[in-house]
Amino acid sequence: MRSRLAVLIATLVVLLAACSSGAASPSVAPATPVASIPASAPASAAAVEVTVFGAASLKGVLDKVKAAYETAYTDTTVTVSTDSSSALEMQIEEGAPADVFLSADTTNPKKLVDGGLADGAATIFAGNKLTVIVPTVNPAGITTPADLAKPGVKVIAAGPEAPITKYATQLVGNLAKEAGYPADFAAKYAANVASQEDNVKAVVAKIELGEGDAGIVYVTDAKTSDKVTPIDVPDTANVPATYAGVVVKASRNAAAAKTFLDWFAGPGGQAILSEFGFLPPT
Amino acid sequence: MVDRRRSSTARSGRWGARSLAALAGLFALFLGLPVLTLVGRALLDGSLGVAITTPAVLDALVLSLITTAISLVITVAFGLPFAFVLARRTFRGKSLLEAVVDLPIVLPPSVAGLALLLVFGRRGLLSAPFELLGISVPFTTIAVILAMTFVSAPFFIRSARNGIAGVDGDLEDAARVDGASERQLFRSITIPLASAALAAGLVMTWARSLGEFGATIMFAGNIQGRTQTLPLVVYSQFQSGDLDASIAAAAILVLAAFGVLVAVRVFHWGRIIDSRGLA
């Protein structure tokens, strides 16, 4: 009985080890489990894996970047995880195994730098602007950003910590000062917010599904969806978004992570970013 | 007079039966329609075949199968001896221990995820020893397995405890008289007689692991191929606007859940046959 239990526990330990080394090994799918993976597997394989935690608004870009980067650097596998930059920053603080953090603002990378969790300073790699989107059928008949304050309009926003919300709050404040906008525009907009989604992509998805009437998102989000119509925001009120990235200090592949961030901030990444409508870093 | 009253009660009885049936029918529709619509959409518009081969869904399917399997092995390895102790021994604080074991069943999964993070997280209770070993648990596949085991093991332990406790002590005594060792007893009498309960417990535990969402997303994150299991892919694909992929993953989960219910019925039926055979 006892020896059998020992065998069982040993099996378990092997399974768990296989599982964790599977996570660290280049093949993303953990389809390489039980098989007797020698402890030296990661060393013998020259391949490295770079895990990129990216802002939700970078999802389309990062899918393309993954393919392009893996073609350019055949020994590197890129794993992408996207969510709101604030959620990702929190996960990195809690020990999530990210190598590179690409944020939709400069605040969240700065938090990592200030907390001693970053390797080096943050690199600004792109800019963006805001726009209002509505479903193509436009059920609420929205023609100008001022309509966001009309009674009964269901506005979909993101959670208070998400960068898009911080930019959107600024935008709403700026709009309130524009000619033709009511003085209590901000309060009326806030009263119309029906949902606070996890991140900006979730806002876009809700508008695409027609579950909301309008939302403030990045210009790049409007560009990549054919189920939404953008409503332009006056340039005088628009808010520039600044995207910054950083190498995570706890990274086990710091060198590969740095190479990736340099490539992403350099011509290789910039080409893809501008394809999606991102602005060059200023 | 009597006739009229009888016919009126018969009529009201018929009305009562009808409205009862209507109420039951409406509620059955409420419970069944959403799931039927989901599976219907997955099967009818042909998106299931395409969406199931989306890398995100495929990765999640593989990950879910592997992690639930490992979680199940852990649950049996530790849960079976535990259930045996709970069923056979009496000791001080036993009912408290039983309550602790049952707690994850009634705990909201987000609470479970937070609690796991407070113990196994980088800033958690056990962070120092884990750091010494160079192991980081949160946001890894290990965290997925731990979350699954934490929330699902109680189902197996409960079922196994009841199953073992229900084994007729006289049978075991008879075997003892015949010179069977405790080990033989456990293997040849207790386990086979409790097998229906054990199997039902296993199936319920597996189903709970497969469906685990809240604790996983808080404690293990949501990384494709590593911690993004099927329920997480349902959420993520919906959140990013890929409704077809979300429906495909959801349909797989519905079919698995349905299979579990059928399996539990079969095991239950088996137990009835068993007990009849014994009686």
> What is the pLDDT tens value at each position of chain B, 279 positions in all?
455 555 666 677 788 889 999 999 999 999 999 999 999 998 887 778 877 888 889 999 999 999 999 999 999 999 999 999 999 999 999 999 999 999 999 999 999 999 999 999 888 899 888 888 888 899 999 999 999 999 999 999 999 999 999 998 888 889 888 888 888 888 888 889 999 999 999 999 999 999 999 999 999 988 889 999 999 999 988 888 788 889 999 999 999 999 888 888 887 766 655 555 443
Q: Enumerate residues 6+ apart whose C-beta is below 8 A from B146.
A: B116, B120, B137, B219
**In percent, how much of chain A has pLDDT > 70?**
84
Whether residues A96 and B221 touch (CB distance < 8 A) is answered with: yes
Whether residues A80 and B238 touch (CB distance < 8 A) is answered with: no
Domain boundaries, chain B: 42-278
| CATH architecture of the domain formed by A130-231 | 3-Layer(aba) Sandwich (3.40)
Distance from CA of A94 to the nearest CA of B (A): 5
Instruction: Name the residue with higher pLDDT: A227 or A33.
Output: A227
Q: Flag whether residue A70 sits within 8 Å of chain B, measured between CB atoms.
A: no
Q: Flag whether residue A130 sits within 8 Å of chain B, measured between CB atoms.
A: no
Average pLDDT over residues A265-274: 97
How far apart (Å, rounded) are the C-alpha atoms in residues A117 and A119? 7
Residues forming beta bridges with residue A128, ordered by sequence position: A241
Taken in order B74, B77, B78, B82, the sign of the CA dihedral is positive
Sheet holding A130-135, edge to edge: A215-218, A130-135, A228-231
pLDDT computed for residue B135 by the predictor = 83
pLDDT computed for residue A137 by the predictor = 94
Instruction: Name the residue with higher pLDDT: B186 or A273.
Output: A273
**Which residue of chain A is at minimal alpha-carbon distance from B75?**
A12
ipTM, interface predicted TM-score of the complex: 0.72
Q: Flag whether residue B225 sits within 8 Å of chain A, measured between CB atoms.
A: yes
- Domains A47-127+242-275 and A130-231 alike in fold: yes
Three-state DSSP state, A55: strand
For residue B109, give the nearest of B201, B31, B254, B208 by alpha carbon: B208
Q: Flag whether residue A19 sits within 8 Å of chain B, measured between CB atoms.
A: yes
Contacts of A252 in chain B (CB under 8 A): none
Whether residues A83 and B222 touch (CB distance < 8 A) is answered with: yes
**Which residue of chain B is at minimal alpha-carbon distance from A88?**
B221
Q: For A148-162, how does the pLDDT look when each residue is reduced to its tens digit (9 = 90+)?
A: 999 999 999 999 999
> Residue A190 is which amino acid?
A
Distance from CA of A114 to the nearest CA of B (A): 17
Task: Answer yes or no: CATH 1.10.10.10 is held by domain B42-278.
Answer: no
Question: To which CATH superfamily is domain A47-127+242-275 assigned?
Answer: Periplasmic binding protein-like II (3.40.190.10)
Domain boundaries, chain A: 1-45, 47-127+242-275, 130-231
Q: Flag whether residue B240 sits within 8 Å of chain A, measured between CB atoms.
A: yes
Interface of B with A in 39-68 (CB under 8 A): 58-59, 62-63, 66-67
**In percent, how much of chain A has pLDDT > 90?**
80
Whether residues A81 and B141 touch (CB distance < 8 A) is answered with: no
Whether residues B77 and A31 touch (CB distance < 8 A) is answered with: no
Q: For A5-32, how does the pLDDT look when each residue is reduced to its tens digit (9 = 90+)?
A: 555 555 554 455 444 444 433 333 333 3
Whether residues A96 and B138 touch (CB distance < 8 A) is answered with: yes
